Amino acid sequence: MGLRDWWNGFMNANTAQKDALMDGAAGLFQYPNQAIFPTGDFLDMVKGGYNKNAIVYACIRAKVNAFNEARFQVVNDNGGDVVENHHITELIQNPNPFTGEYAFWDNIITSLDLAGIAYIMKSRNSERGDVEMLWNLRPDTIKPVTSDKTFISHYEQRVGGSSRDISVDDMITIKYNNPENPFIGQPPLNAALMDIGTDNEASEFKKVVLQNRGSSPAVIVSTKQKMTPEMRDKFVSDWQRKFSGSNRGRPVLVEMGAMDIQTISLNMRDLMIADLTDISEARICGALGVPPIIAGANVGLRNATYSNADAFDKYFYQRTIIPLQNLVDDSLNSDLIIEMDSQVRGAFDNSKVTSLASVRQKEFDNSDKAYNSGWMTRNEARNRVGLVEVGDGDTFKESQPAPLPMKSKPQMEMQYKLSAGAEGVGLLDEAIGRRASAEKHLDRLEKWAKKEFKRESREMMALFNDVTGHKDLSLFEMSQFDNGLNDLQKRWSQSI
């Protein structure tokens, strides 16, 4: 009997029967009276989301792992060339004695997803004032102190019962935009609070039902024999002792007379609430920018194949990780790197990211085609695929003219087909005739082409005058235009 049947029976029962129904259903509702949903508070996000919800945890870990595939590098601000062994690169690789580069990015991504903002404090040399170390700070311990003149005057950090002020110059902030409060960030999980709570409650509900009833469902036992309250209490106690705890599922029952047993709680089939959890998990993944297949959500795994898994890997990196890289390196450039070296900037190197291998191959094929077609120099093609320039690479490759189609050959052979028994002189005359016919044909084609080129030039000039409003060109401009047309005519003639 399902929950709806139990409710209908309850509404139609008398008082004694209702008491029995409620006694039998006591274990069904042994979970909090109200659903508990996380708030936007950082610690609540950690406890109710990251620590409790498997999808939230999986999504954030997927972002952290993917983010760490790319290497942070320092490049020249003008040319974009990589600066090897720069002291800023070394600082990012070893921010402080207790944190490595992976943990540094891990703290930033996790703080952004749970709080909407990440704080990094600069630690300076006491004598020179140079930045020596970087420290990730817990976002819920930092409060920006606003100012009418400078937007933010300083930051206040509270840990336990103590507090300290941190200068704006000593703080790096990376945050998601918050349209309601520009001083703090907007955690992406705020948009999925109801879905996180729903997913948590669905898991909690299944846990409680299994914990309270196991494989033995809640039942109503009706007997024809009148039972005193003491007899009923003893029967319930014996029943719970035999069918709960370590005895759950034990198929032992001694009949004490005529009795009727009705199941009122949910069985395992009733607990299959996949549609509800699928919707919640898909929305959580959407809020965090992680495809469900990558997070291991059931809604994604049901449709997973090797081919679409690779496609979603690329989609995830291009749509989520690269924009996240842009957000991070923009903040580092403005709050840290420009102070340490104004001639360089930070950027992420995605050239060895596994999920972008097909993108790099396509870029290589396009650059190779552009170079071989004469649209791009060798060095331009090499730059597009991340290769260094070569000394003789600033010239275009000359394209080879396409061979003429030989459509007329069968016609000429048919026109001058030798008759049977022709003499040698006749053969020579036939050959001369075919050559003369071919030359005549080519002469007509050349005249037509020149006429066509002139017509196109006139049309081009007319179009040019229409576009420029019949503005007179200088002699120099006209000469350049005429020379350009002549060059085009020669190139077209060679192609034909």
Please tell me the predicted confidence (pLDDT) of residue 418.
45
Separation of alpha carbons 404 and 406, rounded Å: 6
Please tell me the predicted confidence (pLDDT) of residue 413.
44
Which range among 38-52, 80-94, 164-178 shows the weakest confidence by mean pLDDT? Answer: 38-52
- Quick one: which of 93, 131, 109, 91 has its CA closest to 176? 109
- Quick one: which of 308, 282, 307 has its CA closest to 295? 282
Burial of 203 (0-12, 13-18, 19+ CB in 10 A): middle
Separation of alpha carbons 122 and 103, rounded Å: 16
pLDDT exceeds 60 at position 268: no
pLDDT exceeds 90 at position 478: no
Separation of alpha carbons 174 and 24, rounded Å: 55
Identity of the amino acid at 232: R
Separation of alpha carbons 492 and 82, rounded Å: 43
Separation of alpha carbons 85 and 354, rounded Å: 25
pLDDT exceeds 70 at position 189: yes
Give the phi and the psi of residue 173 in degrees, each rounded to 5: -120, 135
Identity of the amino acid at 247: N
Structure tokens at 447: 């005249």
For residue 30, the Cα-to-chain-centroid distance in whole angstroms is 40
Identity of the amino acid at 436: A
Tens digits of residue pLDDT in 392-448: 878 887 755 555 555 444 444 444 444 444 455 566 666 666 777 777 777 787 777
Separation of alpha carbons 108 and 71, rounded Å: 15
481 pLDDT band (50/70/90 cuts)? low
Tens digits of residue pLDDT in 400-409: 555 555 544 4
Separation of alpha carbons 28 and 264, rounded Å: 9
360 pLDDT band (50/70/90 cuts)? confident
pLDDT exceeds 80 at position 24: no
Which range among 6-10, 93-97, 492-496 shows the weakest confidence by mean pLDDT? Answer: 6-10
What is residue 26's DSSP assignment? G
- Exposure of 157 in the CB half-sphere (CA atoms within 13 A): 15
Token pair 């990211």: residue: 353
Neighbours of 177 (CB within 10 A): 9
Neighbours of 94 (CB within 10 A): 14
Please tell me the predicted confidence (pLDDT) of residue 166.
95
pLDDT exceeds 80 at position 15: no
Structure tokens at 428: 């020579």
Please tell me the predicted confidence (pLDDT) of residue 27.
38
Please tell me the predicted confidence (pLDDT) of residue 410.
45
* Cβ 284 vs Cβ 197: under 8 Å: no
How open is the CA angle 456-457-459, to the nearest 5 degrees? 65
What would the DSSP string read from start to end of 152-196?
EEEEEEEETTEEEEEEGGGEEEEE---SS-TTS---GGGGGHHHH
Separation of alpha carbons 10 and 191, rounded Å: 39
pLDDT exceeds 60 at position 285: yes
Higher pLDDT, 150 or 118: 118
Neighbours of 88 (CB within 10 A): 20
Separation of alpha carbons 462 and 98, rounded Å: 73
DSSP E strand stretches across 205-335: 219-223, 259-263
pLDDT averaged over the chain? 77
pLDDT exceeds 90 at position 451: no
Please tell me the predicted confidence (pLDDT) of residue 382.
82
Tens digits of residue pLDDT in 40-53: 688 888 988 899 89
Neighbours of 285 (CB within 10 A): 26
Neighbours of 365 (CB within 10 A): 11
177 pLDDT band (50/70/90 cuts)? very high
pLDDT exceeds 90 at position 32: no
233 pLDDT band (50/70/90 cuts)? confident
Please tell me the predicted confidence (pLDDT) of residue 408.
47
pLDDT exceeds 50 at position 480: yes
